[in-house]
Amino acid sequence: MEPMGCLAPSELSVKDLPWQIHWSKDKCTLCGHCTAVCPVRAIELGVHRKRALTVPLNLGEKPGNLFSVFHGIDQRTDPAHACVGCGMCTLVCPNGAIIPVHTDEIDKLRFHVNVNGEARRRGGRRNSSDSLLDKIKFVRISMLTDPALDAGRHEFELRTLLGRVLPPEEMLRVSRENGWMPPVREIYPLIIGGMSFGALSPSMWEGLQLGVSYLNEEMNMPVRISTGEGGCPPRLLKSRFLQYVILQIASGYFGWDEIIHNLPLMKEDPCAIEIKYGQGAKPGDGGLLMWYKVNKLIAAIRGVPQGINLPSPPTHQTKYSIEEAVAKMIQSMSMAWGFRVPVYPKISATSTAMAVLNNLTRNPYAAGLAIDGEDGGTGAAYHVSMNSMGHPIASNLRDAYLTLVKIGKQNELPLLAGGGFGKNGNLAANAAALIMLGASGVQTGKYIMQAAAGCLGSESDRCNICNIGLCPKGITSQDPRLDRRLDPEKVAQRLVDVFLSFDTELKKIVAPLGRSTSLPIGMSDALGIADADAAKRLNINYVL
C-alpha cells in the first residue's frame, strides 16, 4: 500500500493471482530449494514477526506480549513475479511443504499484465481443454465376415506418403516416357512438428534428433522431424541423419544462409522442405524469438546479432501474393535440391484454406499441404493471438479432404494435420480420428514436449513462460544452467517410448476396425460422435 493509504490500480493481493502458494510452516526446513528454483522468483524468503499474548495464571504478574521472529515463504504479487503455477517448488521441496494451487475464480492478474501498454506475450497454447477430437469414437467394429485383427499378432502397414503422388494414369505415362516422377517419401504418420533450434534448448534438440535417429535406425520406424524456423546446426546438415529431417523455411528465412552454404556438403537430401506460411497457435502472425533466448550459438546459426528480438514478418515479404509466393517458393526450393525433395507449404487452419488448397492442386510441384489448427502450441506469441485467433483443425481438414475427393486428388496431395491433437493425452485416438477424417499424417510438437521432456504447460495457463528463456525444465531456455537440467539421452529414450506406445495404440484402434493393409485415410464410416451438428458438419456418423 502506498503512503497516505492510496492503492495503485494494479496493486494485487495473493488472492488476485491465478496461482496461490500453499506453504506449510510445520514441514518447511528453510532449505531454500524452492526459492532458488522458481523461474519467475515468485517466492522469497520472508521474515515475519509474530506476537503472542502471554497471560500469566497468577494475578501477581501482568499480561504481556511475547515477540518472536520466524522465517518462511512469501509470495510476491507484482505481475512480473506472479507465480506461474509451474510447480517446480513442489518438485524440489524435500519435505512436501509447498504447492501452488489454482485460484477458485477468474484471477485479477489478467487485467494487469499489460504494464507500459505491452500486451501479454507468452508461450504455450490456447487456454481451453475442450477437444472435439476427444469426442470422436470409432464405431465400426469388424466382427462378422471379417473377424477383428489381433493388434499384437498381425502385421500392420501403418506408413504414409509425403510428396506429390501421381494419379495412376499419369504415373504409367511418366514411367513409359521416362519422365520426372515427383519425389515421394514413405514415412511414419506421426511427425514431430516444427520447433526451432532457438525456441528449443540445445539439449532438447539434441535429445529429439537422437531419439528420431534411434527410431529410424534401430526400430525401423521412419519418423520425421521438422526443424521449425531457425535453421539447422551445420553438423546435422552434413550428416546422414539429415534424411530424417524436414527443413522448414519461414518468412524470416532464419538459418537459411547456413543451409544454402552447406548444400554442396550434404551427404543426404533432407526428407522434405516445409514452407511455413502460418502457424495454428498464432495465425497471421510471424514467428517470434525473444531477445532473452538469442545467445551466441543461436545468433550464429541464424546469422543475426546476439541479444535482439527476432520477429519473423507475418508473410513472406519478398513476394507479392500468397499464390505467387507459394508457386515461386515451391519452385525454387525444388530446384535447389534438383527436384529430388518434396516441398510443401504449412498454413494455419483458416476458412480460406480451400483457396490455398485449390491453388496447390494445380501446381505439379506442390508435395502436400500441412494445416495447423488453432490448438497448436508456440514458443512465443501474443496471448490474444493464441487464445482467440484461428480455426479448429477437424472441420478445416475435413473440408480440405472432401474438396480433394471432389476433384479426385485425395491421393495426390497428402494433407498433414496438426494443432491440438493429444492435448488431453489421447494422442493415438486423436491422430487416428484425424487420419480417418482425411489426414495422410499428423504433426505434433506440444505432446512431444510434454511426454518426452516433461513440459509443465497446460490449458489452464500453467507455466507457459517458454518465451522468456526461463523454462524451468530446460526445454525452451538458452541458459546453460537451465539446459543442463535436461539430459538429451533421457529425452531420446522418452521419445522412443512415446512412438512405440503410440504405435501400439494405433494398432489397437485399427485392428478392431479390420484395417491392417494400409493406413485408413478417409475411412470416415468408422467415426461417430454424439453431437448431431458436429456429425453433420464432419460428415460422420451421429451416435447416441
The interface partner of residue 475, options being other proteins, ligand SF4, none and the CB cut-off 5 to 8 Å by kind, is: ligand SF4
Q: How far apart are CA 145 and CA 317, in angstroms?
A: 58
User: Is 21 among the residues that bind ligand SF4 (CB under 6 A)?
Assistant: yes
Segment 91 to 120, residues that bind ligand SF4, using CB under 6 A: 100
Which does residue 96 touch among ligand SF4, other proteins, none (CB within 5 to 8 A, set by kind)?
none
The answer to whether 40 contacts ligand SF4 (rule: CB under 6 A) is: yes
Task: Single out the residue of 18, 77, 124, 253 in contact with ligand SF4 (rule: CB under 6 A).
Answer: 124
Closest to ligand SF4 by CB, 46 vs 314, is 46
* For other proteins, the closer CB: 61 or 150: 150
Does residue 528 bind other proteins (CB under 8 A)? no
Cell of 283: 495465425
Which of ligand SF4, other proteins, none has residue 165 at its interface (CB below 5 to 8 Å by kind)?
other proteins
User: What distances in angstroms separate CA 80 from CA 39, 110, 470, one per listed residue?
Assistant: 11, 12, 13
Q: Which does 21 bind (CB under 5 to 8 A by kind): ligand SF4, other proteins, none?
A: ligand SF4
Cell numbers placing 126:
490456447
The H or E element that residue 207 is part of is: helix 202-217
**Residue 190 interacting with ligand SF4 (CB under 6 A):** no
CA atoms within 13 A of residue 371's CA, in its CB half-sphere: 31
- What amino acid is encoded at 295 in this protein? N
Other C-beta atoms closer than 10 Å to the C-beta of 141 total 11
The total of other beta-carbon atoms located within 10 Å of residue 361's CB is 16
Q: Which residue has the cell 504433426?
A: 443
**Given 471, 486, 496, 498, the residue binding ligand SF4 (CB under 6 A):** 471
Q: Is 342 in the site for other proteins (CB under 8 A)?
A: no
Q: For residue 123, which phi and psi values (nearest 5 degrees)?
A: -105, 180
Q: Which of 81, 110, 137, 159 binds other proteins (CB under 8 A)?
A: 159
**Residues 485-524 interacting with other proteins (rule: CB under 8 A):** 513-518, 520-524
Under a CB-based contact definition with an 8 Å cutoff, are residues 424 and 133 in contact? Answer: no
DSSP string over 439-477: -SEEEESHHHHHHHH-----TT--S--GGGT--TTSSS-
String of DSSP letters for 369-408: EEEE-TT--EEEEEHHHHHH----HHHHHHHHHHHHHHTT
Is residue 193 exposed (0-12), middle (13-18) or buried (19+ Cβ within 10 Å)? buried
- Write the CA distances from 114 to 32, 118, 137, 392, 416, integer angstroms: 31, 5, 42, 28, 36
85 binds ligand SF4 (CB under 6 A): yes
Q: Does 288 bind ligand SF4 (CB under 6 A)?
A: no
522 binds, options ligand SF4, other proteins, none, Cβ within 5 to 8 A by partner type: other proteins
Say whether residue 465 binds ligand SF4 (CB under 6 A): yes
Q: What is the 3-state secondary structure (H, E, C) of 507-536?
A: HHHHCCCCCCCCCCCCCHHHEEECCHHHHH
Which partner in other proteins, ligand SF4, none is near 471 (CB below 5 to 8 A by kind)?
A: ligand SF4
Residue 61 vs 157, nearer CB to other proteins: 157
Task: Check residue 397 for interaction with ligand SF4 (CB under 6 A).
Answer: no
Q: Minimum Å distance from CB 326 to other proteins?
A: 23
Which CB atom, from 333 or from 475, has the smaller least distance to ligand SF4?
A: 475
Residue with Cβ nearer ligand SF4 (345 or 376): 376
Q: Which residues bind to other proteins, rule: CB under 8 A?
A: 140, 142, 144-147, 149, 154-155, 157, 159, 161, 165-172, 175, 181, 184, 186, 405-408, 410-411, 513-518, 520-525
Q: Which residues bind to ligand SF4, rule: CB under 6 A?
A: 19, 21, 37-38, 40, 42-43, 83-89, 100, 123-124, 449, 455-457, 463-466, 471-473, 475-476
